[in-house]
Structure 1
């Protein structure tokens, strides 16, 4: 027989596992395809102008900002509504510091393989230019980081950890994270595996470190934005960007990443996995905080000592139970 409390807990987990992803995907579709609404309401605008607007760096940046803000608000609302708990993973205290630290760590980590390949002659510098592609690169970083972290770490990793523990949840979500990138044009099976190993484990441990999302969101943003806006690279097989630097990768695919970009490189996978190992060592081994309706009340468990509570007399004609 399922006890009412257990049924309530399972219901809350099921609602989070279904409603949160649906809401986040719906927001992505609505905002990214907002150009269709723009198209219908600007009949006097030429097709060329519409295409230019949709592909402009400013549009990418605005889309990223709107997506990030709306998804965070939706996540907070749905967690409070259905999980009935404080949204500690998106708490305001320390959010700027944690996000900034994540941006710094992500930028450094993704630059390490580029610097190594440059030093070894596998990346050739072509030119340097301040251009609008930098804004587009920042927008690309924003579009992916909030959605993917809320979905993969905020929903799936957190819920699976309650069922299987942190190691099992980390392995599963990392493999899934790599697999979903197969939808990108240039991603191969090997590329998906390296993305899962380097980024999946890295971002997963970044969440588990404090069980908050600001650090992995910042790390994810720094990782993508540095690739696109600074190095002008190919982010997750989506195509080469126009960044601050322009260069060419050449060499074996296992080293340069081929059509996937630097994320498909085994060198990047090793660096990401080592960084994930360091964060894992810093992560406290403690159970995740439960929602109020999932937590046990003092009356849920009565310790069985094997003894019968003693009866003492405190007043004539009255007995008091001493526990």
Structure 2
């Protein structure tokens, strides 16, 4: 049986390398925020603004042109992507392909399937809600700004989401898997960690910690995809489709991405049982669709079984 996690055993996989490597990737990722912080600081300085407000999310989002802000926000993830490649290649001596998939070649068709499934659903649900609740939306389509947004999004959003997949479903999942030699611990730790990554998002401040159910649930969804399919192609496509289509279609003044999207949601958000609907109903449907397409079997062993490392384990 192909084993995505066990691929890491072909390279340097001592536990301390993953501790150091994860830290170095994080530092490189954070270095990518310097252009954004620098641009906001410069704009505040020339406008006579208060530099002490740099830690305020509204200041970061509202100081620059929205498309420039969007680009600079995503730039740090592109730098983080480079950081993953750097650490994997030179610190672990691992083939980058082995961080991505067990297949002989990276499967772009799987990326397209993952992207299409979630993209179609988000577009359909947005159109339906707009038709039923049009007063909750402001039509915001300005072609000059939207086309710039689309160009930035098509290039930068996949870099953002692929970095997150490589860091969590790739580097951390493989690392934890080869260290503890099981699949359930990496799934749980990376899913919760992915959710906690979004703890600083403005949605959490607006909606409360209950929204973390959605973020952590999404982490589990993406982790299950990676383990069942023995590769990251589906989760990479799904994550990119979710973020890109959302950024292009609709935004609000309380979301992480405040873009020149087609629609602006203007009503005050509320959270109730509906936060559980995607996690308990929609996500299982996604998994069933993919399981049918790719004939997934052995769910118990793939999600909770042991990781059998090669005899050449170092």
Mapped pair 1:266 → 2:266: no
Structure-2 separation of matches of 1:190 and 1:44: 36
Cα deviation, 1:76-100, whole Å, max 9, x if unaligned, reads 3422334344342336934543333
Aligned CA distance change for structure 1 residues 135 and 58 (closer, same or farther; 3 Å)? farther
Gaps of 5+ in 1: 1-7, 257-264, 301-323
Cα deviation, 1:24-45, whole Å, max 9, x if unaligned, reads 22222212212456689xx899
| Residue in 1 that maps onto 2:248 | 229
State TM-score, norm by structure 2: 0.67
Are the aligned partners of 2:66 and 2:260 in contact in 1 as well (CA < 8 Å)? no
Instruction: Kindly report the root-mean-square deviation, in angstroms, between the aligned alpha carbons of the 2 structures.
Output: 4.4
Larger proportion of helix: 2
| Residue in 2 that maps onto 1:21 | 22
| Alignment counterpart, residue 202 of structure 2, candidates 177, 185, 189 | 185
| Residue in 2 that maps onto 1:295 | 310
| Residue in 2 that maps onto 1:320 | none
Aligned CA distance change for structure 1 residues 14 and 104 (closer, same or farther; 3 Å)? same
Could you say what secondary structure the match of 1:12 adopts? Answer: coil
Could you say what secondary structure the match of 1:182 adopts? Answer: coil
| Residue in 1 that maps onto 2:272 | 254
| Greater RCO structure (CA 8 Å; 6+ sep) | 2
Instruction: Compare CA radii of gyration and give the structure with the larger one.
Output: 1
Larger proportion of strand: 1
Structure-2 separation of matches of 1:128 and 1:171: 40
| Residue in 1 that maps onto 2:256 | 238
| Residue in 1 that maps onto 2:239 | 220
| Alignment counterpart, residue 111 of structure 2, candidates 96, 99, 104 | 99
Structure-2 separation of matches of 1:139 and 1:59: 15
State TM-score, norm by structure 1: 0.65
| Residue in 1 that maps onto 2:55 | none
Could you say what secondary structure the match of 2:203 adopts? Answer: coil
Are the aligned partners of 1:15 and 1:82 in contact in 2 as well (CA < 8 Å)? no
Aligned CA distance change for structure 1 residues 66 and 111 (closer, same or farther; 3 Å)? same
Gaps of 5+ in 2: 1-8, 50-59
Aligned CA distance change for structure 1 residues 266 and 119 (closer, same or farther; 3 Å)? farther
Could you say what secondary structure the match of 2:231 adopts? Answer: coil
Q: How many aligned positions are there?
A: 277
| Residue in 2 that maps onto 1:307 | none
Structure-1 separation of matches of 2:85 and 2:21: 10
